[in-house]
Chain A
Amino acid sequence: MRLKSRLSLWEKNGLISADNASAIQSFEKNRTSKQFAIGFQMVGVFSILLGFAMVIGANWQEIGPYAKLAAHFALNAGLGIWLLKLHKTIGQPNDRPILREGVCLALFGLTLTFIALIGQVFQLDGSTAAALILWMILSVPMMMMFPRSRFSASLWFVALIVTVIMGFFEFSKPLGDFEKGVFGYFLALFVPLSVFGDHCMTITRKYRPEFSDVFRRGSLVLLICAATLSGFWFYGAGNDFYRSASHGSQHYLFIGLITACAFVYIGFLKTCFKDHEEPSDWTVLNLCVAAMALPLFIVVDLDFLGALLFMGFWMGLGYIWQKAGEDKLVSLAITLVTLRLYIVFLEVFGGLMTNGIGLILAGCVLIGMVKGAKRFSNFLKETV
Chain B
Amino acid sequence: MSKPENILIARLIALGMRYTRALAIFAIVLPLIFFGGSIAYHIQHKETAQSWRIDLEGYDPRDLLKGRYIQYRFAWNAKNSLSCDMFEKDCCLCLTDTNGTRINPEANFTPCRLASKQCDAVIKGESKNGIIDIGLNRYYVDERVATPLDRLLRRGEVRFAVDLLVTPRKGSKVYIERAPKLGELYVNGTALSELRQTGALSSDKR
Contacts and interface: CB of A to CB of B under 8 A. Distances in A.
A58 B5 contact: no
Interface stretch (B103-111, B130-138, B153-161, B166-174): B130-138
For A76, A114, A121, A123, the residue with the greatest tally of chain B CB atoms inside 10 Å of its CB is A123
Given A57-B68, A141-B30, A114 B35 contact: yes
Contacts, number: 87
A155 interface: no
B138 A118 contact: no
A122 B42 CA distance: 7
B140 interface: yes
Contacts of A139: 31
B13 A125 contact: no
Contacts of A142: 27-28, 30-31
B27 A141 contact: yes
Interface in B20-42: 23-32, 34-36, 38-39, 42
A122 B23 contact: no
A120 B28 CA distance: 23
B46 interface: yes
A147 to B, nearest CB: 11
A123 B28 CA distance: 26
A55 to B, nearest CB: 11
Contact of B141 (A59, A73, A145): A59
Nearest to A123: B182
Given A61-B196, A202-B13, A141 B32 contact: no
B143 to A, nearest CB: 5
Contacts of B29: 80
A161 interface: no
Interface in A1-60: 57-60
Nearest to B30: A141
A118 B67 contact: no
B2 to A, nearest CB: 14
Interface in B59-77: 67-68
Interface residues of A, number: 35
A69 interface: yes
Contact of A138 (B12, B34, B196): B34
- Measured as residues with beta carbon below 8 angstroms from the partner, the interface class of chain B is 35 or more
B42 A80 contact: no
A80 B34 CA distance: 14
A125 B42 contact: no
A80 B28 contact: yes
B181 A138 contact: no
Contact of A84 (B24, B68, B137, B140): B24
B9 interface: yes
B142 A123 contact: no
B32 A80 contact: yes
Interface in A70-129: 73, 76-77, 80-81, 83-84, 87, 107, 111, 114, 118, 120-125
B31 A125 contact: no
A359 interface: no
A120 B38 CA distance: 13
Contacts of A221: none
B58 interface: no
A124 B42 CA distance: 10
B168 to A, nearest CB: 18
A238 B138 CA distance: 34
Interface string B110-150: 00000000000000000000000001111111110100000
A59 B181 contact: no
A60 B9 CA distance: 51
Contacts of B189: none
Contact of A125 (B9, B46, B138): B138
Contacts of A111: 31
A59 B24 CA distance: 33
Interface in A129-154: 138-139, 141-142, 144-146
Contact of B25 (A60, A84, A144, A203): A84
Nearest to B126: A174
Given A83-B28, A125-B137, A202-B9, 10 more contacts: A57-B68, A73-B39, A77-B32, A80-B28, A123-B136, A123-B183, A138-B30, A142-B30, A145-B23, A203-B9
23 contacts: A57-B67, A58-B68, A58-B142, A58-B143, A59-B140, A60-B142, A61-B142, A76-B31, A76-B32, A80-B28, A83-B28, A84-B24, A84-B25, A84-B28, A111-B31, A114-B35, A118-B39, A120-B140, A123-B140, A124-B181, A125-B135, A125-B137, A125-B138
Interface of B: 5, 9, 12-13, 16, 23-32, 34-36, 38-39, 42, 46, 67-68, 135-143, 145, 181-183, 196
